[in-house]
Structure 1
Amino acid sequence: MNVRLRDEGWVRRCGVAVRGQAFDGADLLEMPAIAERFARALEGETSQNQDGDARLEAVAACADSLEGFFAAVVDLDADPTYLVADGARSIPLWYDAAGSVVSDRGWAVRDAVDAPRDPVAECEFLLTRYVTGPDTIWRDVFAVQPGEVVRLESRDVDGASGDTGDGDRAVTRHTYREYWPAAETPTAEDECLGDQLEIHLARLEAGLQTALDRLEAVAGDRPVVLPLSGGYDSRLLAAALVERGREAIGFTFGRSGHPDVEVSREVAAELGIRWEFYPYSRELWREWYHGEDGRRYREWAFGGDALPFLAEWPAVRGLLEDGRLPDDALYCPGHTVATPSERLPRFVGEPPYAPDRRAVGCGPAVDADERTSANEALETIDPTLEALVEYVLETHYVLWDLDDVANVPTDDGGSVRDAFRECIRRGLLGDRDPETISDPATAAAAYERWEWRGRMSTFTNGDCRVYEDAGLEWWLPLWDPAYVRAWEAVPLAFRRGKGLHADLATAIYWRVAGIAHDRAAVTDRTLEPEDRLLSLVRHTPIRQFTERGGDWAPPFLAPREQWREPGSHPLAWHGIVDDAGLEAVPSSRNLYALRTLARVEGVDLGDPSWLADVGEQWFEESSLSSDSRS
């Protein structure tokens, strides 16, 4: 077995390599203890006297007993070898189809086996900015999935069940931790509906408190640094930590006047925590993205299954270099298991009282505000497998026109659209029968499972690479299994739109900050325009003549509907793209689309010739047809 673990944080003991930390109940286990736990799982009754399935089950049971953020390569010098990912796949591992190479860098596996590109996975990446399932854009290079153990072993003469690809080893995948939030939903006639809401809110807060207990155990005496946005997730963490008396530091980035910045500024001021702001501009983005450090980070962080997270990368580096953030703190992004509930459709047969909380968060792959008004009714679909498949296609496969990839050939002679549909079906169901999806609750569970495995664990949780690149330690408290289980038990009526999660964030912020409840619920999506003008004067007046160069008005006051226009994005990150090319690109192609194009086509978005290099047909009808891509 060729094991290529590049990160220096791996610890090897007893034939096991481990990165990360985990809890056994209330006990925090460091890496040597985790390694010893896996080694013991294969000793005694699970050694030579047991068949391969028993050994696989022993590794899976050990992984399931641990709660935290970790990855492991078990029996790395033996046959078989087991690869383990936690429930969030926070620390990725990749391997090849022959089971001969393992690495914590997808590109290291690609280089080792000289893997060619996979046109179908590449098309999915272009349309979504990630690849769902275990595939990558490189043929026969795979990623361990969240909550999964992968066994790599010598292939028997007759082969083995679960084999993938060709080679002299067999690959078996086993999911030990699932996510299927299908709690029974109270009916509209239930006289105790309000009581049910309070009961589930209390249970969710109990899950949060367990997650925070663990966060504090990991942090020790160190401060906790939060990328503080204008939404509910980071606000929930900030307020809950202040309530516990913890030292919390918030930071945000972008352009002064952006609703995200101004709500973050207000939350930090009301909670009385230190707040750092890092301004962005088109000129600085051009310098950051195309500089040596930017190029290195994008190559290092790309594993073949998700576009590297970029938004806070310059802010983290810049604030550290300026000495405005500590390098010995614990960094806690607010990514949460509740996010998939934001993008749920409405289902036929769903009780009419279910609240529409569409405006709480980030929306679909193309921002919700770019597709529809936040106040517009959600799409209603049948609670069936095929209706969900089409909904996922129409909601997430949108960076480029789906029809444009229809003619790209697949290995079996079928269409890319059909290949996407089949991949989505697997992501929705797992090992379940299609008939499992039979009502709104199970349809919602299937959709949220798809996002958990297909989007959150690849693209969103890839944000951790930003902190690793800066040499920082991170933790994901709102992906802690205790909070995941609590959210999983919330009925659809209270889960929809991330509603109960938002209620919890509002409630804790309100009782800690002591402000009006309506004000505690304000987010970047509901902030009034006049608040954006007055925010700096209200909350950080000393910065008026430094942050805005002495100007009274903030530099960014563009309404949300104009953010797609070149130069009007609140992060200013269109500065990445050469001016001439930016003028030629229609506003329907956002920066994510251009970045996936640059990755696949190998072009430099800052080079004036980049548009000619890929051909203007990319921005016309049938731009991704097989003819134009050949």
Structure 2
Amino acid sequence: MIILKNNHGFPWTKRNNIYIKGYFYNENREIPVEEIFSLIEKNIDSLEDLYPKIRGNFLIVVEKEEKEYTILADKLRSFPLLYSFDKEWILSDTALSLKEELESREILLTVNQEALREFKMCSFTLGHHTLYENISRINSCSVLNLKEDGSSKEKRFREIFDLCEDHKCLEEEIDEIPKILEKILKRIIATAKSRNKQLIVPLSGGQDSRLIIHTLAQLQAENILCYTYGTKSSPEVQISKKIAEFYNYPWKFVEYTPDKWKNFIARDDFKELLAAANQFISTPHIQEYMALKELLRQGYLEKGGIILPGFSGDFLQGSNIPPYFIVEENISWKNFYEEVKGQYFSHILWDEDMKSHEDETRESIRKKSEFITSSLPWREVLNRYERFGFEDRKLKFIVNSCRVYELFGLEWRTPLWNEEYFHFWKGVPEKRYARELHYLYTQKYQKELQEYLGSAPKHPALPKADLTHFIRKYFPNVFQNIKHKKNHRELLKKYKADPYGWFLICDDREWEKYKNKVYSVNSIVSLKTSDALDIKY
């Protein structure tokens, strides 16, 4: 049984027994979906062999005889699909629709306690887990076969995550960055122009969004709208405005206020977003909803336009790499565990239940990362560390934020997570630490913009064996505790002074309840999400 209801942004297309959602491309152009249907039909018995040859952001469902299915999910798991088995497979692209179908069959939905702890600690679940034992979700980079008898077989294609050897000189690598970006964005511009679509750029003032707008300007792209949101006092607002002025593109600002946040949470808007974006695996990405709704109401946003978010170029460029992963020849399991735990499992202060299950958490991380020895060479450890962050947090929370764009009838593209751009950064591991190579690129190709802004990125501090390095390596739990206490102090300072104003999703009474056990605004959103879904901690 197939329940496909989400036709926002990218509507489902069906031909015979094949369902397709998303877009596809080759070296030079985006490919019409009719060509993909023909390709699937021609290779219906060898889809695993076909998978590596398909490029794009897509979800393909092939319904076979005997109520069996083959599902092809792209490298970003761009579109959600959940499934359950009750005498037959039930597939759905919306979590609540699947839940309703199971409840109509009087199937008791059991909360997955391990996934609930993950959701609580990370703001997302791990692997194929959802918040319910009876419901699973597809993985990225996968071909999943669901058999009539309730069994399943999955093949993963995760080579995109692996580091490559660095064979080019530094100057060649700097010059390669604009070439790759221009190639990616040329395809997108050609698609938008042929379909008379608006290109929309969320301009935060950060390095990633300015990278996109800079490349669009170099290609003389037209019909562009830039927008920024937040509080009037935010420095990012003025930077974004100046960037749009420099490239002579229209720019709109949407102010966020306490009253707007309170109204958003109280109205059905939050429930609509929650239904579309939660999928029982992640907190919803809430910050852009109000801006898009206002831009649409004011007539600046064209329905059917293509939005180009900048996430998460900084991740590929090396912003998340722990310094001693580059300095040391080998990294221990203990260090790896503490880094993963500190980066992804500390969105909320651990309570007694979490502490009592730490052995299970540790084993879950070990199993998912396939780190089965006491130590590994730094390249292998970095592969596992970034794969963990990419497959879970980035794909479940960041990519899942595209559900917001789809609610407003927008298509989207992720230029900085395109396969070609991904492959480039995986080929320069030593030069990614602290975004060093990206910094050198900005010095060469964005010098005029930096002069116009009156500021330039600081040269990244390269890893060195100092006291911080010593503590982080030999006393990793101490280092993480210090870091989290610092983060918590900064969070307390941010309340009511955050540039996006989004801490105001909770009132003063709720803040008093949350403030001593949360480390980020996403921690608060996860608490509200569980309340709205009636899943209590």
Instruction: Give the TM-score of the pair, scaled to structure 1.
Output: 0.73
Larger radius of gyration: 1
The 1:427–1:231 alpha-carbon spacing in structure 2 relative to 1, beyond 3 Å, is farther
Which amino acid counterpart does residue 218 of structure 2 have in structure 1? E
Q: In the alignment, which residue of structure 2 is the partner of 1:493?
A: 430
The 1:349–1:598 alpha-carbon spacing in structure 2 relative to 1, beyond 3 Å, is closer
> Which of 366, 375, 380 is the aligned partner of 1:442?
380
Q: In the alignment, which residue of structure 1 is the partner of 2:179?
A: 206
The 1:350–1:574 alpha-carbon spacing in structure 2 relative to 1, beyond 3 Å, is closer
Once the two structures are superposed, the pairs formed by residues 73-222 of structure 1 within 5 Å of their partners are 73-75=61-63, 79-96=67-84, 100-113=89-102, 114=107, 115-155=109-149, 169-184=150-165, 196-220=169-193, 221-222=196-197
Cα deviation, 1:122-164, whole Å, max 9, x if unaligned, reads: 1111111111211111113122111111110123xxxxxxxxx
**How many Å separate the matches in 1 of 2:367 and 2:131?**
18
Which amino acid counterpart does residue 347 of structure 1 have in structure 2? Y
**How many Å separate the matches in 1 of 2:121 and 2:352?**
10
SS at match of 1:22: strand
**How many Å separate the matches in 1 of 2:205 and 2:313?**
18
Tell me the CA shift for residue 74 of structure 1: 1.4
**How many Å separate the matches in 2 of 1:349 and 1:308?**
34
The 1:502–1:38 alpha-carbon spacing in structure 2 relative to 1, beyond 3 Å, is farther
**How many Å separate the matches in 2 of 1:596 and 1:301?**
12
**How many Å separate the matches in 2 of 1:515 and 1:306?**
40
Q: In the alignment, which residue of structure 2 is the partner of 1:229?
A: 204
Cα deviation, 1:455-479, whole Å, max 9, x if unaligned, reads: 1111001111111011111111111
**How many Å separate the matches in 2 of 1:337 and 1:110?**
35
Tell me the CA shift for residue 580 of structure 1: 2.1
Once the two structures are superposed, the pairs formed by residues 303-314 of structure 1 within 5 Å of their partners are 303-314=279-290
Once the two structures are superposed, the pairs formed by residues 191-340 of structure 1 within 5 Å of their partners are 196-220=169-193, 221-247=196-222, 248-336=224-312, 338-339=314-315
> Which of 570, 579, 595 is the aligned partner of 2:508?
579
Cα deviation, 1:502-554, whole Å, max 9, x if unaligned, reads: 5435544335x48379735379xxxxxxxxxxxxxxxxxxxxxxxxxxxxxxx
Tell me the CA shift for residue 224 of structure 1: 1.4
- For structure 1, which runs of at least 5 residues remain unmatched after alignment? 47-57, 156-168, 187-194, 352-380, 408-414, 524-559, 605-612, 615-628
SS at match of 1:268: helix
> Which of 481, 485, 497 is the aligned partner of 2:419?
481
Cα deviation, 1:198-229, whole Å, max 9, x if unaligned, reads: 22223333332321122223322433111011
8 Å contact kept, 1:182–1:488 = yes
SS at match of 1:399: coil
Cα deviation, 1:306-355, whole Å, max 9, x if unaligned, reads: 1111111100111111112332421111113551632221226717xxxx
Count of matched residue pairs: 494
Which amino acid counterpart does residue 500 of structure 1 have in structure 2? L
Q: In the alignment, which residue of structure 1 is the partner of 2:471?
A: none
Which amino acid counterpart does residue 284 of structure 1 have in structure 2? K
**How many Å separate the matches in 2 of 1:139 and 1:442?**
32
8 Å contact kept, 2:326–2:430 = no
**How many Å separate the matches in 2 of 1:91 and 1:436?**
37
Tell me the CA shift for residue 95 of structure 1: 1.2
Q: Are positions 1:592 and 2:508 aligned together?
A: no
8 Å contact kept, 1:7–1:104 = yes
Q: In the alignment, which residue of structure 1 is the partner of 2:343?
A: 395
Q: Are positions 1:346 and 2:323 aligned together?
A: yes
Q: In the alignment, which residue of structure 2 is the partner of 1:72?
A: 60
**How many Å separate the matches in 2 of 1:178 and 1:277?**
40
Cα deviation, 1:89-115, whole Å, max 9, x if unaligned, reads: 111111126671111112323333343
SS at match of 2:432: helix
Tell me the CA shift for residue 393 of structure 1: 0.8
The 1:498–1:97 alpha-carbon spacing in structure 2 relative to 1, beyond 3 Å, is farther
8 Å contact kept, 1:72–1:84 = yes
8 Å contact kept, 2:246–2:452 = no
8 Å contact kept, 1:427–1:449 = no
8 Å contact kept, 2:325–2:382 = no
Which amino acid counterpart does residue 62 of structure 1 have in structure 2? L
Tell me the CA shift for residue 568 of structure 1: 1.8
Tell me the CA shift for residue 273 of structure 1: 1.3
**How many Å separate the matches in 2 of 1:121 and 1:146?**
18
Q: In the alignment, which residue of structure 2 is the partner of 1:7?
A: 6
**How many Å separate the matches in 1 of 2:308 and 2:53?**
23
Which amino acid counterpart does residue 225 of structure 1 have in structure 2? I
The 1:592–1:348 alpha-carbon spacing in structure 2 relative to 1, beyond 3 Å, is closer
| Matched-pair identity in % | 22
8 Å contact kept, 1:147–1:175 = yes
**How many Å separate the matches in 1 of 2:353 and 2:191?**
46
Instruction: Give the TM-score of the pair, scaled to structure 2.
Output: 0.84
Q: In the alignment, which residue of structure 1 is the partner of 2:48?
A: 60
**How many Å separate the matches in 1 of 2:39 and 2:134?**
31
Which amino acid counterpart does residue 323 of structure 1 have in structure 2? G
Which amino acid counterpart does residue 421 of structure 1 have in structure 2? R
Bigger mean CA deviation after superposition, 593-602 or 84-93: 593-602
Tell me the CA shift for residue 238 of structure 1: 0.2
Which amino acid counterpart does residue 81 of structure 1 have in structure 2? Y
8 Å contact kept, 1:97–1:171 = no
Tell me the CA shift for residue 79 of structure 1: 4.6
**How many Å separate the matches in 2 of 1:205 and 1:93?**
35
Bigger mean CA deviation after superposition, 207-216 or 16-25: 207-216
Tell me the CA shift for residue 575 of structure 1: 2.6
SS at match of 1:515: helix
8 Å contact kept, 2:185–2:415 = yes
**How many Å separate the matches in 2 of 1:134 and 1:80?**
19
The 1:438–1:417 alpha-carbon spacing in structure 2 relative to 1, beyond 3 Å, is same
Q: In the alignment, which residue of structure 1 is the partner of 2:35?
A: 33
SS at match of 2:509: helix
**How many Å separate the matches in 1 of 2:126 and 2:238?**
35
Q: Are positions 1:460 and 2:398 aligned together?
A: yes
Cα deviation, 1:382-421, whole Å, max 9, x if unaligned, reads: 61344212211122211222353336xxxxxxx6323322
**How many Å separate the matches in 2 of 1:455 and 1:110?**
24
Which amino acid counterpart does residue 359 of structure 2 have in structure 1? D
The 1:428–1:264 alpha-carbon spacing in structure 2 relative to 1, beyond 3 Å, is farther
Q: In the alignment, which residue of structure 2 is the partner of 1:470?
A: 408
Tell me the CA shift for residue 237 of structure 1: 0.5
**How many Å separate the matches in 1 of 2:259 and 2:116?**
31
- For structure 2, which runs of at least 5 residues remain unmatched after alignment? 460-488
The 1:423–1:140 alpha-carbon spacing in structure 2 relative to 1, beyond 3 Å, is farther
RMSD value over aligned CA atoms? 2.9
SS at match of 1:83: strand
Q: Are positions 1:425 and 2:425 aligned together?
A: no
